Amino acid sequence: MKPDGPRQQIQPASLSRNLSRSDDDDDQNPNPNPNPPSIDQSLDAIENQLSSISMFQPDSLSEPRMESEELVNGSFDEIEELPAKPAGVEEEEKLKASSSRVWTNASEMEEVESPSSPSSSGYAGERGSSATSGIDNGDFDRVPDSLVPWTPGKRHGDEDDASISWRKRKKHFFILSHSGKPIYSRYGDEHKLAGFSATLQAIISFVENGGDHVKLVRAGKHQVVFLVKGPIYLVCISCTEEPYESLRGQLELLHGQMVLILTKSVNRCFEKNPKFDMTPLLGGTDVVFSSLIHSFSWNPATFLHAYTCLPLAYATRQAAGAILQDVADSGVLFAILMCRHKVISLVGAQKESLHPDDMLLLSNFVMSSESFRTSESFSPICLPRYNPMAFLFAYVHYLDVDTYLILLTTSSDAFYRLKDCRIRIETVLLKSNVLVEVQKSMLEGGMHVEDLSIDSASRSGPVSPHSSQSRLATDSTERLRDAFNGVGGPAGLWHFMYRSIYLNQYVSSEFSSTINSTQQQKKLYRAYLKLYASMHKKGIGPDKTQFRRDENYVMLCWVTQDFELYAAFDPLADKALAIKVCNRVCQWVKDVENEIFLLGASPFSW
Amino acid sequence: MPSRRRTLLKVIILGDSGVGKTSLMNQYVNKKFTNQYKATIGADFLTKEVQFEDRLFTLQIWDTAGQERFQSLGVAFYRGADCCVLCYDVNVMKSFDNLNNWREEFLIQASPSDPENFPFVVLGNKIDVDGGNSRVVSEKKARAWCASKGNIPYFETSAKDGTNVEEAFQCIAKNALKTGEEEELYLPDTIDVASSSQQRSTGCEC
């Protein structure tokens, strides 16, 4: 999906030209004012701006239809992403600007060691020698991992850097110490990869010796992303074409997960003794890391830095929140009730706030550790964004197969007190039918794009996915879907994600039938990652939109001070209609926000 | 993160260029030898699993380049080493004289917590050359130097025919293991309720 076909690129050079251009296009506006006054003024404003921008239309459908347009709130601004550039150039420029070293050419690494010739220094040996060749594998076949359902824990533990299969893995993650000792590898045996680990440390330290930092190495299709966290080095080697910023964010989370298990106090051990081996401290946590890495390909919370709620009737969530609040007042720091990765309710002690990343890491830790499911547990954990140096204590108990309660406290002897709290909470939840509602919601799913109505006179979607009103009620209203020959929602809407900025929560629609395989869902998330990264580069104003068409999707993104909307459409979707549908989605989200978000009494203090 | 406790030992091999560091390692790990000389660029890394007193551990061997132009890599390479192997060529006096420099350079760069007792092993290589006739450093002289530096274990080796290579690395592993035993205390804090709000570090940047 390299949009190197016809594309429109707008340079920031002349504002006046851009403005006049907008004017010129006004009469071509296919959809000058489609909204009745009841619709939020800002929605209309942005819609007008969007529709007033000229579009490139391919001459014929037989041509590869690729276009990419990015526009910034009416006045054209700098293009954030230039996909037509040769790979490497973009990163190089960026990294130059931040005065860091980047090698865009693998041959430069020969200063450290020769990447492609293991026998460069006289070895006749077949295995275990220089390992950088793993990132220089031009002839790269993909191992179809995605066809196999994800299983927890270390896979392919028998592999090492000499294994062909290991070299073909699409995405590697490594954690090592600053002396080059392996701590974690997603694939393969850490000890067998000791030589590879040493190579990574050599590269990082070699650059550091020059008073610089290595952030990224590009080698053919592969990106090698480095993150140095004191004495802990994290490396990702990927050929998934995810943006550098996304991969770096994933390394940050991986480090956060390590801190959640051990706190940053391990750094002190390295200060005292660089030989320090932390693998015994992490014993048995393999599965926590592999589960987090797996979530990078399906959980939007990993890049949206927001959490998501299980859709529930307002009263139901209120009932859950009330009893949690009750225990929070009696010395619990945070009380969190979750169903899988979705929040049912959460409360914090006065003035305490919980970062969405901490919630992600905590729920990943709880869900991936099998022992939490079998009995009530009390475990020291650290919330890296709350206090990375110190432990809290987590009381964890599964109320049913998917629903679990986490009570966080600062006192190590609170187990029995928290157990009593849990019994009280559980009783109330059962009595008020919350757990039954939770199960129902799990079965029904959240927002379905097929339910979105485009009739602007009525409400944008079903009043509530969880009220007594049936979804059928919308069938009588006009649905653009009928006019459009595709599947999914109106105007070819396949999927959307809406992130409320002040709530720090997001809602993601269910996948429409067009994106029903894990493979397709992964692909869509990668498209979202790119979109997200291009919208979050520094130096861009707060209000912006992006419309991007390639052979897979039409992607539409709209970022305001209040929310971010990401939507994926059929690649043949009409632009004006797509914009209209996005407005409806926002209205729909507003209509049901009582049920899809946790409102009020939020412990989030920003 | 293996569930079974395994130990990884970082071993650095130092010495002048051409004394046979890479050949020694190659003989040890791969049981192979070649007469062809290829200079090591920067460093090379090999791993070998070793059984020692019923324990399995992995040697992570850092084979460094002897040329001076690579010496800037020092700190990076030496950090966290469990053992340092000093090599010289018994047929080249200069390579023996330089052992002292290599040792001191290592101690400065790696700055181990207890430099007096840091485990070194000295290897006098190429004893096979010319049937020993071209030898210029006597075993006695070498042993005397080792004794003066805190009784460093000494081996006379031939990377070509494998003499003493296995024994030398067994000793290296043993010595590295000895100092690796001392455990660091890992004692993280827990949050004090009263002060927790002040301590909170990176709370709300989103």
Label the pairing between strands A377-381 and B83-89. Answer: unpaired
Task: Tokens for A356, please give them.
Answer: 């969405």
A377 within some domain = yes
Q: Which of A308-322, A348-362, A538-552 has the highest mean pLDDT?
A: A308-322
Cβ contact B73–A205 (<8 Å)? yes
The band of A32, judged by pLDDT with boundaries at 50, 70 and 90, is: very low
- For residues A292 and A314, state if they share a domain: no
- When scoring B58, B117, B179, B191 by the number of chain A Cβ atoms within 10 A, the one with the most, hence best to mutate, is B191
Separation of alpha carbons A562 and A270, rounded Å? 43
Per-residue model confidence as pLDDT tens digits over A251-281? 999 999 999 999 999 998 888 888 888 888 8
Q: Which residues contact A393 (CB under 8 A, 6 or more apart)?
A: A378, A379, A380, A381, A408, A409, A410, A411, A412, A414, B190
| A427: containing domain | 307-443
Query: What is residue A157's predicted lDDT score, i.e. its pLDDT?
Result: 79
| Domain shared by A209 and A246, yes or no | yes
For residue B82, give the chain A residue with the closest CA.
Answer: A275
Phi, psi of A161 (to 5 degrees): -70, -10
Same domain, A45 and A104: no
- Note the pLDDT of residue A562: 92
Q: Can you tell me which residue has the tokens 């990927």?
A: A238
Count of structural domains, chain A: 3
pLDDT of residue B182: 55
User: For residues A153 and A290, is the Cβ–Cβ distance under 8 A?
Assistant: yes
CB pairs A-B closer than 8 Å: 226
In a domain, A429, yes or no: yes
Residues of chain B with C-beta less than 8 angstroms from the C-beta of A262: 186, 188
* CB-side neighbour CA atoms (13 Å) of A172: 30
Exposure string for A387-400, b = 16+ CB within 10 A, e = fewer = bbbbbbbbbbbbbe
- pLDDT level of residue A587 (50, 70, 90 thresholds): very high
In a domain? residue A302? no
Measured distance CA(A232)–CA(A247) in Å, rounded: 17
Q: Which of A285, A255, A234, A245 is nearest to A357 (CA)?
A: A255
DSSP structural state of residue B44: E
Min Cα distance A526 → chain B (Å) is 22
CA dist A597 and A501 (Å) reads: 12
Do A354 and A453 lie in one domain? The reply is no
Nearest Cβ partner of B201 from A193, A265, A388? A388
CATH number, residue A318? 3.30.450.30
Q: For residues A564 and B206, is the Cβ–Cβ distance under 8 A?
A: no
Query: What is the average pLDDT across A130-143?
Result: 38
* Nearest C-alpha neighbor of A556 from the set A579, A573, A536, A523: A579
Question: What percent of chain A shows pLDDT beyond 70?
Answer: 67
Confidence of residue A493 (pLDDT cuts 50, 70, 90): very high
Q: Let me know whether A490 and A439 are in one domain.
A: no
CB A446 within 8 A of CB A508: yes
When mean pLDDT is compared over A56-65, A106-115, A435-444, the highest value belongs to: A435-444
- Residue B184 sits at the chain A interface (C-beta within 8 Å): yes
pLDDT per position as a tens digit, A495-521: 999 999 989 999 999 998 888 899 999
CA triple A329-A333-A336, angle to 5 deg: 95
Closest CA to A483 of A492, A494, A474: A492
pLDDT of residue A584: 95
Residue A351 has pLDDT above 80, yes or no: no
Give yes or no for a contact between A184 and B1, defined as CB atoms under 8 angstroms apart: yes
Instruction: Report the sign of the C-alpha dihedral through residues B25, B27, B33, B35, in that order.
Output: positive
Region A599-605 average pLDDT: 56
Q: What is the ipTM of this complex?
A: 0.82
Instruction: Evaluate whether A477 touches A483 at the Cβ level (below 8 Å).
Output: no
- Asked if B187 has any chain A CB less than 8 Å from its own CB, the reply is yes
Question: Residue A15: pLDDT band by 50, 70, 90 thresholds?
Answer: very low
Residues A159 and A193 in one domain: yes
Sheet holding A214-219, edge to edge: A101-103, A214-219, A222-229, A232-238, A171-177, A182-185
**What is the Cα–Cα distance from A472 to A74, expressed in whole angstroms?**
39
B189 touches chain A (CB under 8 A): yes
Cβ contacts of B199 on chain A, cutoff 8 Å: 387, 389-390
**Residues A424 and A471 both lie in one domain:** no
Task: Assess whether A466 and A563 both reside in one domain.
Answer: yes
Same domain, A318 and A418: yes
- Residue A465 in any domain: the answer is yes
Task: Name the residue facing B36 among A122, A201, A286 (closest C-beta).
Answer: A122
Tell which B residues from 98 to 157 touch A, by Cβ distance under 8 Å: 110, 113
Q: Locate tokens 């979705």: which residue?
A: A342
Q: What percent of chain B has pLDDT over 90?
A: 49
Q: Answer with the residue of higher pLDDT: A139 or A455.
A: A455
Nearest CB to B44 within list A129, A201, A274: A129
Q: Do A97 and A232 have their domain in common?
A: yes
Task: Tell me which residue in A112, A177, A190 faces B2 most closely, judged by beta carbons.
Answer: A190
Q: State which of A389, A409, A443 marks the end of a domain.
A: A443
**C-alpha dist (Å) from residue B95 to B79, B91, B101, B123:** 24, 9, 10, 11
What's the pLDDT band for B183 if we cut at 50, 70, 90? low
**pLDDT computed for residue A372 by the predictor:** 93
Q: What confidence category does residue A556 fall into, taking pLDDT thresholds of 50, 70 and 90? A: very high
Looking up tokens 């340092």 gives B84
When CB atoms are compared, the residue of A119, A265, A353 closest to B188 is: A265
Last residue of a domain, one of A443, A461, A490: A443
Residue of chain B with shortest Cα separation from A331 = B193
B contacts of A197 (beta carbons < 8 Å): 60
What domains sit in chain B, N to C, each tagged with a CATH number? 7-199 (3.40.50.300)
Eight-class DSSP state of A66: -
3-state secondary structure at position A560: coil
Please check the confidence at residue A595 and state whether its pLDDT lies above 90. Answer: yes
Closest CA–CA distance from residue A591 to any residue of chain B (Å): 25
Phi, psi of A335 (to 5 degrees): -120, 120
Domain stops at, among A408, A443, A478: A443
Task: Give residue B40's pLDDT band: very low, low, confident or very high (50, 70, 90).
Answer: confident
A185 contacts in chain B (CB < 8 Å): none
CA distance B192 to chain A (A): 7
Contact between chains at B75 and A205 (C-beta distance less than 8 A) = yes
Closest approach of B147 to chain A, Cα-based (Å)? 26
* pLDDT > 80? residue A116: no
Q: Which residue of A has its CA nearest to B59?
A: A194
- C-beta atoms of A128 and B180 within 8 A: no
Long-range interactions of A464-473: CB distance < 8 A, separation 24+ = A464/A313, A464/A592, A464/A594, A464/A595, A465/A311, A465/A592, A465/A595, A466/A311, A466/A312, A466/A313, A466/A437, A466/A440, A466/A441, A466/A595, A467/A313
A66 lies in the same domain as A55 = yes
Q: Are the C-beta atoms of residues A197 and A181 closer than 8 Å to each other?
A: yes
B180: nearest CB among A204, A275, A351: A275
Inter-residue contact A77 to A66 (CB < 8 Å): no
Q: Are residues A574 and A486 in the same domain?
A: yes
Q: How many helices (H) and strands (E) does chain B have?
A: 7, 7
Is B97's pLDDT higher than 90? Answer: yes
